Structure 1
């Protein structure tokens, strides 16, 4: 069965842009044209490919098609690398990863392959990124789970160390006797989002659970150290991210002997495509220090 590439491109645009309207703008088409192309896919395949909600969601059938589209893009790029006269554009790879990886090492990996591919990044907790890979929404993911998803490889990246930090003034005010259960209850934590599993894992020795302490939520992990320096809260961050501020004395570690480590894995589709292989090599290079 041959599927019209324009119809697949319309589906990809709807998924990546989040709506029919934005997809139309992305492809320089009318919204009606996008709807017709999606409907043509659904009529050809005998079922819906998207759930028309906010945001748009893929059906099981749509997940298969979108994964197929992404793989075709990579294989086309592989062919273009072997036959330069084809002059194909760089493929676009959708990746799910956690905010801390983006704030620390992932940009180094991207810099290595910037001429070979484009990326769409979905930023979310490392405990759920692999679900996006299973659903066919991404071709690669940084995950805390080591078991490979069907049809994928999984490389161990290393163990990311985290430490709890605060400004010296904040630590003196809220933790005068060190890290105690009462001190953590009285202080305010800075988290990426509600129900931060990693923070609760860190606080487990103090028998604290969600709701026992106040939190600021800030979906911008790269700003957590700045927030701690300004005395807004204490927070849990990768040591890589906080090391300079620790060394300069702008923040202090609340529990320097109780750093917590998160094992991370790079999952990627099992494809013979150079751009994805190059990205994988760059990812492994950028995280080499985590494996030492």
Structure 2
């Protein structure tokens, strides 16, 4: 039988990125946290934590932390069902991509969050990688572009986001006077979210019959700043229709590759719990997303 005080110490070290910060969260000294993790490893008979900077769990450690999160989730639902709060509002860890967070996510949940106060622990990553957060037990649910469910989890289609390549009319005249070609695309400043981002690769390969040999990349890991930077005429870049619609209608932005769109299907993956806070969150998220996103029909 696991001692959950010890497991909680391990989870806190990983979540907070160190023993000292974990101690502050748990109300313990750094030494006491270290002793609890060491005792847990002795009980498990294997190393659960790599003492790097920041500390990171081993595969066995991830499995223990995943179990801990599931148990805490079930405990929260139990106490809520008995009408007894425990430690304030429940916390739900969710993996989400930056574009969803910047556009439809909170509008989809506004009514639910007004009705059912809770704390969200949002882990932001590329939509192709949030799946791994759920698989490793770091979150209870995630928005992902993968349709294949994680073992023991449910999956639901939320809708699609459509991306097009936008720039201001003056940027188009400066950088693409003869049209958008591979050569011109390789010279024009192009916004890219980060080095994991490959959406521009998919769209340009489709539209131009192949990628430019290289890019004049402007890395900008902020979905909220993409539209303002493109709107200022400093670069071109991919935007979801939700962010570009108003500026396109007013003529402030132009679609550089009409007829070419990169479509991302979004799915909600979560632990297979129909009841409790996760079940209610799931119902609200699905309904809200489907009211705001295209279903892709």
Bin for the TM-score computed over the shorter chain: over 0.9
Contact 1:103 1:222 in 2 (8 A): yes
Look up the match of 1:169: 170
Pick closer, same or farther for the CA change 1:108–1:9 going to 2, 3 Å: farther
Contact 1:140 1:267 in 2 (8 A): yes
Look up the match of 1:231: 233
Contact 1:116 1:275 in 2 (8 A): no
Alignment RMSD: 1.9
Q: 2:276 aligns with which of 265, 274, 281?
A: 274
Q: Establish whether residue 291 from structure 1 lines up as the match of residue 292 from structure 2.
A: no
Look up the match of 1:158: 159
Q: Gapped runs of 5+ residues in structure 2?
A: none
Contact 1:200 1:210 in 2 (8 A): no
Q: Give me the whole-angstrom Cα distance separating, in 2, the residues matched to 1:195 and 1:208.
A: 19
TM-score of the two chains, using structure 1 as the length reference:
0.92
Look up the match of 1:259: 261
Pick closer, same or farther for the CA change 1:229–1:15 going to 2, 3 Å: same
Q: Give me the whole-angstrom Cα distance separating, in 2, the residues matched to 1:38 and 1:31.
A: 11
Contact 1:100 1:221 in 2 (8 A): yes
CA deviations on 1:216-270 (whole Å, 9 max, x unpaired) are 1111111100010112210111110121222232222112311211111111011
SS in 2 for 1:216: strand
Pick closer, same or farther for the CA change 1:21–1:249 going to 2, 3 Å: farther
How many Å apart are 1:147 and its aligned residue? 0.6
Look up the match of 2:43: 44
Q: Give me the whole-angstrom Cα distance separating, in 2, the residues matched to 1:247 and 1:25.
A: 51
Pick closer, same or farther for the CA change 1:48–1:216 going to 2, 3 Å: same
Contact 1:77 1:90 in 2 (8 A): no
Q: Give me the whole-angstrom Cα distance separating, in 2, the residues matched to 1:271 and 1:53.
A: 34
SS in 1 for 2:234: coil
Look up the match of 2:12: 13
Greater shift, 250-259 or 230-239, is seen at 250-259
Look up the match of 2:191: 190
Q: Give me the whole-angstrom Cα distance separating, in 2, the residues matched to 1:96 and 1:275.
A: 16
Look up the match of 1:90: 89
Q: Gapped runs of 5+ residues in structure 1?
A: none
SS in 1 for 2:84: helix
Q: Give me the whole-angstrom Cα distance separating, in 2, the residues matched to 1:53 and 1:244.
A: 47
How many Å apart are 1:56 and its aligned residue? 2.4
Greater shift, 141-150 or 247-256, is seen at 247-256
Query: What is the count of residue pairs matched by the alignment?
Result: 291
Contact 2:182 2:211 in 1 (8 A): no
